[in-house]
Each structure stands twice: as structure tokens, then as C-alpha cells.
Amino acid sequence: MAGRRPEKAIFFVHQNVELSSPLLSAYFIEKLNKALDLDLHIPQMPDSNKDKGQGRLF
């Protein structure tokens, strides 16, 4: 098992200010990608002027 990477990682960000959670998640994933040479998907915030629906998480 040495040297193997997990195929799936799930984490949750809990903040009192919910509007900041997606931004903090994106920052965390960017740092993980760089530090561990990964290519994890970074969720995008919907453009408030363009899309009034849900954002893309996966």
C-alpha cells in the first residue's frame, strides 16, 4: 500500500458565513493540488448576473 494515493476524498467546510465556504473550499483544493501534485476539481461559483440556479459542484 505504500505510495498509493486514495481514489476519493470527501471533506466539508463549515463556516458561520456560508457565502465564504465555496471560496475557502476552492482555496483549499488549489493548495492540495499544488502540494500533492493532484488535479482535483475546483467548484465554481455561479455568475450571479448570468445564472440564478445552482452552481456546479461535481
In a domain, 27, yes or no: yes
For the segment 33-52, the average pLDDT, to the nearest whole number, is 76
Q: Give the pLDDT score at 56.
A: 58
d(C-alpha 48, C-alpha 14), whole Å: 22
For the segment 11-15, the average pLDDT, to the nearest whole number, is 74
* Residues 25/57/48/30 CA torsion (nearest 10 deg): 30
In a domain, 13, yes or no: no
Q: Give the pLDDT score at 24.
A: 84
Question: Which residue carries 448570468 as its cell?
Answer: 50
Whole-prediction pTM value? 0.57
In which domain, by residue range, is 32 found?
Answer: 18-45
Q: How many domains does the chain have?
A: 1
Q: Which of 19, 58, 53, 20 is nearest to 42 (CA)?
A: 58
